[in-house]
């Protein structure tokens, strides 16, 4: 891989991560009235991973991809929550009052919301790749 191709690839992934992190923080500020820098980092990484699911599983329909994305996001939320909320004590979020929560870090209600957010991430990732990076036009099967 040439140096210019590598730079273009790195720039693409930096842009996708920035977009995903920024979008999530914006949504969270509208939803909760606040966010935290750790949410930007987590969302940026998750946008790359979840948005890239259909780059790997090209035959999967959108809904199974979104469910897989939700499982990945929920697992990442649990790990991140245990670090930033329990271990470091930063109190970024607390789901202790939600039914079915695990350690106050994840709950079924927000895990379900991750399905919708994952579907959105997959579609947005594909549209950005198509419009800005000349990749294939997105097509979906439910």
Question: Domain residue spans in the chain?
Answer: 3-133
How does DSSP assign 20-57, residue by residue?
HHHHHHHHHHHHHS---HHHHHHHHHHHHHHHTHHHH-
pLDDT for the residue numbered 58 = 85
C-alpha pair distances (Å), 101 with each of 76, 81, 113: 15, 12, 14
CA distance 41 to 18: 9
Could you give the percent of the chain with pLDDT greater than 90?
Answer: 92
pLDDT for the residue numbered 55 = 87
Ranges of beta strands (E only) in the chain are: none
pLDDT tens column, 8-66: 999 999 999 999 999 999 999 999 999 999 999 999 999 999 999 988 988 899 999 99
CA distance 71 to 76: 9
Query: Would the pLDDT of 95 be above 90?
Result: yes
pLDDT for the residue numbered 57 = 87
pLDDT for the residue numbered 65 = 96
- Contact between 99 and 88 under an 8 Å Cβ cutoff? The reply is no
Compute how many other C-beta atoms are within 10 angstroms of the C-beta atom of residue 93.
22
CA distance 127 to 47: 13
């Amino acid at each position: 891989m040439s140096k210019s191709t590598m730079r273009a690839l790195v720039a693409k992934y930096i842009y996708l991560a920035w977009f995903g992190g920024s979008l999530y923080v914006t949504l969270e500020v509208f939803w909760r009235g606040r966010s935290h820098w750790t949410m930007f980092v987590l969302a940026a990484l998750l946008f790359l991973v979840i948005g890239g699911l259909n780059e790997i599983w090209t035959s999967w329909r959108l809904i199974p991809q979104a469910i897989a994305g939700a499982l990945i996001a929920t697992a990442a939320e649990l790990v991140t929550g245990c670090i930033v909320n329990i271990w470091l004590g930063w109190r970024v979020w607390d789901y202790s009052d939600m039914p079915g929560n695990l350690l106050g870090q994840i709950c079924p209600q927000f895990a379900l919301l991750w399905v919708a957010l994952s579907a959105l991430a997959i579609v947005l990732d594909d549209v950005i790749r198509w419009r800005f990076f000349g990749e294939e036009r997105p097509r979906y099967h439910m």
